[in-house]
């Protein structure tokens, strides 16, 4: 935990940060477990160095099968198109980087380096590239680990890639704009030997609230995304309009708070995670002309997934019969169950900054 002086009139920091305490408990949903009173009293909970989770195969009955990795700070698992590799983010000691894991030979390959946080990998359909978010910028890297990561957009765009159309021609992502809010955008992908380029991006879904997690259907006709305009995040499906704003057709698919929609590749179904109970649900659907007709959502598995916030915590195997999921480890955690209190923090900070 750090503190820095701020000018509230200008909304700007006026000096460098100063460290206060180390090892504050945290999670991906609520952030760090601390608060500070106007009087300068600080309260916090000390936690383990990092969250430990397991990466497992999961079937509808809840049976878990380890992939052979030790517990770690795993999030955003994404299976390669052939189902033989998984790309994932590993968070450790304040860093977050992308790795791939060979599910057959059980070998790990690190793909990204440097101090900027990396997250949310997305495979190109041929499996040669991974797109991801690098500190808010769209970036890519070769999936075999050769070559360097390359940025495609400025970091201030605050963009997170979510899916690529099956023909490899379109990228769907959400972007957080300070004035417009978070909306769904799409951009054409351009391939040249050994590299990717992103064409002119256009807003596809702009509505009140947050529009995020856009997932393009395997046939390229539809796009699922989350929206909180009703007061809680629900899953909606719209026609995939390939670079044009959606004007006709919108269907609500879920009836409870959701996160992380994933289309089944070869079956007419959308999987998603319940935000409250963190269990996987499935919605089967039919198409009648230009209409998308969803069935009632059903719980696919009673197994509770790990608490990772809004980012993906599972992906579907190519055959649609099981999922690769991040679950809480059975190893004991070292998080404290009591609170620590530090008095007169404000006075101490004033002394430090005055000395500077």
> Is-contact 183 136, C-beta < 8 A?
no
Q: Mean pLDDT, to the nearest integer, of 339-349?
A: 90
Residue 155's pLDDT is what? 62
More confident residue, 334 or 82: 82
Q: Mean pLDDT, to the nearest integer, of 183-210?
A: 89
Check pLDDT > 50 for residue 29. no
Report d(CA 30, CA 78) in Å as an integer: 24
Residue 50's pLDDT is what? 54
Residue 17's pLDDT is what? 85
Residue 81's pLDDT is what? 95
More confident residue, 154 or 177: 177
Classify burial at 311, counting beta carbons within 10 Å of its beta carbon; exposed 0-12, middle 13-18, buried 19 or more. Answer: middle
pLDDT in tens, 113-128: 887 889 999 999 999 9
Looking up tokens 């605050």, which residue turns up? 158
Check pLDDT > 90 for residue 209. no
Report d(CA 327, CA 306) in Å as an integer: 4
Say what the pTM is.
Answer: 0.82
> Is-contact 129 87, C-beta < 8 A?
no
pLDDT in tens, 268-313: 999 999 988 899 999 999 999 999 999 999 999 989 998 887 889 9
pLDDT in tens, 258-276: 888 999 988 899 999 998 8
Of 204, 211, 158, 161, the closest CA to residue 185 belongs to: 204
Check pLDDT > 60 for residue 40. yes
Of 259, 264, 276, 279, the closest CA to residue 315 belongs to: 264
pLDDT in tens, 145-163: 888 888 887 766 789 999 9
* For the chain, domain boundaries: 2-46+335-355, 53-328
Cα angle 160, 134, 166; round to 5: 45
- What percentage of the chain has pLDDT greater than the value 90? 56
The tokens of 303 are what?
């197994």
> Is-contact 303 273, C-beta < 8 A?
no
76-90, 204-218, 321-335, range with the lowest pLDDT: 321-335
Q: What is the CATH number of domain 53-328?
A: 2.120.10.30
Report d(CA 96, CA 118) in Å as an integer: 6
Report d(CA 216, CA 63) in Å as an integer: 29
Report d(CA 134, CA 59) in Å as an integer: 32
Classify burial at 314, counting beta carbons within 10 Å of its beta carbon; exposed 0-12, middle 13-18, buried 19 or more. Answer: buried
Mean pLDDT, all residues of the chain: 88
Q: Please tell me the number of Cα atoms within 13 Å of 210 on its side-chain side.
A: 13
Phi, psi of 74 (to 5 degrees): -85, 135
Q: Please tell me the number of Cα atoms within 13 Å of 129 on its side-chain side.
A: 24
Report d(CA 114, CA 227) in Å as an integer: 33
Phi, psi of 347 (to 5 degrees): -65, -40
Q: Report helix, strand or coil for 14.
A: coil
pLDDT in tens, 47-59: 765 568 999 999 9
Q: Mean pLDDT, to the nearest integer, of 65-88?
A: 95
The tokens of 69 are what?
């990795």
């Amino acid at each position: 935990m750090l503190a820095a002086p701020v000018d509230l009139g200008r909304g700007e920091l006026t000096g460098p940060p100063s460290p206060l305490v180390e090892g504050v408990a945290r999670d991906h949903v609520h952030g760090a477990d601390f608060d500070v009173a106007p009087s300068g009293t600080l309260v916090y909970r000390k936690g383990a160095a990092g969250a430990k989770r397991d990466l497992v195969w999961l079937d509808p009955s809840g049976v878990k099968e380890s992939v052979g990795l030790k517990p770690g700070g795993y999030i955003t698992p994404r299976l390669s198109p052939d189902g033989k590799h998984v790309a994932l983010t590993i968070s450790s000691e304040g860093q977050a980087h992308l790795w791939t894991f060979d599910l057959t030979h059980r070998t790990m390959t690190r793909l990204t380096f440097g101090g900027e946080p990396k997250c949310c990998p997305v495979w190109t359909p041929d499996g040669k590239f991974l797109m991801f978010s690098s500190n808010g910028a769209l970036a890519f890297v070769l999936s075999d680990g050769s070559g360097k990561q390359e940025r495609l957009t400025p970091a201030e765009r605050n963009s997170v890639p979510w899916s690529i159309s099956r023909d490899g021609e379109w990228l769907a992502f959400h972007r957080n704009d300070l004035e417009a809010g978070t909306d769904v955008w799409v951009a054409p992908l351009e391939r040249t030997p050994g590299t990717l380029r992103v064409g002119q991006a256009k807003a596809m879904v702009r509505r009140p609230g947050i529009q995020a997690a856009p997932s393009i259907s395997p046939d390229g006709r539809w796009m699922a995304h989350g929206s909180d305009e009703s007061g809680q995040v629900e899953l909606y499906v719209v026609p995939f309009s390939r670079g044009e704003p959606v004007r006709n057709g919108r269907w609500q698919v879920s009836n409870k708070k959701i996160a992380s929609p994933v289309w089944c590749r070869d079956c007419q179904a959308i999987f998603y995670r319940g935000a409250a109970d963190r269990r996987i649900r499935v919605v089967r659907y039919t198409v009648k002309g230009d209409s998308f007709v969803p069935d009632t959502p059903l719980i696919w598995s009673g197994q509770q997934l790990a608490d990772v916030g809004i980012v993906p915590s599972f992906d579907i195997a190519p055959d649609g019969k099981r999922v690769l999921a991040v679950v809480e480890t059975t190893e004991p955690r070292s998080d404290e169950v009591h609170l620590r209190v530090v008095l007169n923090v404000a006075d101490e900070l004033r002394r430090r900054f005055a000395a500077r």
